[in-house]
Amino acid sequence: MEYRRLGRSGLKVSVLSFGSWVSFGPQLDVGKAADCLAAAWDAGVNFFDNAEAYAGGESERIMGEAIERLGWPRHAYVVSTKLFWGIHDEHHGGVNMKNTLNRKYLMQAIDASLDRFGLDFVDLLFCHRADPDTPVAETVWAMSEIVSAGKALYWGTSEWTADEIRTAIDVAERHHLHAPVMEQPQYNLFERRRVEREYARLYEDHGLGLTTWSPLASGLLSGKYLDGVPEGSRATLPGYEWLRDLLTDAGRNAKVRKLADIADELECTLSQLAIAWCASNPHVSTVITGASRPEQVEENMGAMDVIERFDADVKGRVEAAVR
């Protein structure tokens, strides 16, 4: 496993990490989650991603119980969570606790997350989306105080625009507060603009680190949807109907077939090729992978061998296949 600094911070994270979106709760209980976490750990993964909104808080509870069951020492792993969507019903006093980054929500939500995890602190805390209704300064002050209180060690953003990130950094620097050090954007062969163009100046100007998600474009780049939607896949889960159109898009699947030829030549899977492509971007600190079975974790971790062979020629051919 390779370990990269999270932007300009001193924290090092495994270039391949493991996240719980979709799987923890809807597909995996504590026992099965522990099996997947153990497979990632055995491959050298030290960063595990989560969010308050995943399965309405269940994902944090499952991950916390699974880690406790595995007996990992707290110094040996990095865990994250993300706040914004909330899990409280607006009609029962939750009007200030949903789709917001106000101070009240953030201060209470981090305590609730830590309680579900069974932890004293998370290493990384993300603002899961930007909040146009809350002053950026209010959010920055609250996040900085959470870090100062030791409830999180670093804070960052997820799917914020470059202007929003820059504004938050400016507020923090002006008031000598803890500034955001990382962003969690979607990044894959079909979703590239934000990482490669919009954030370009932020890497050099502020040393922004990236913990990217959806390297397989929700499974499209795994190739398993080339012949339709298989039973048991995430596109068949209740609430994920929106994925069907994406995963059965004829134009994108035609590009996936071209990528399959390259993967065959490299003697790797499509998933490994797609993950290695994401990791080949030097601005990416870690690529968050997901899986519902230990075998899938092991396959994804096999991308490390492909990263070593991802030279300019291979990258050029991959680019041509999806152009």
Which are the catalytic amino acids? 54
Q: How far apart are CA 268 and CA 73, in angstroms?
A: 34
Residue 205 CB contacts under 8 Å (≥ 6 apart), including other chains: none
Contact 277, 320 (CB under 8 A): no
* C-beta neighbour count of 248 within 10 angstroms: 16
Q: How far apart are CA 140 and CA 172, in angstroms?
A: 7
Q: SS3 string of 283-323?
A: CEEEEEECCCCHHHHHHHHCHHHHHCCCCHHHHHHHHHHHC
* Token pair listed for 74: 């707290």
Q: How far apart are CA 50 and CA 57, in angstroms?
A: 10
Q: How far apart are CA 241 and CA 32, in angstroms?
A: 25
Classify strands 3-5 and 12-14 as parallel, antiparallel or unpaired.
Answer: antiparallel
Strand, coil or helix: 223: coil
Does the CA dihedral 35-40-42-48 come out positive or negative? negative
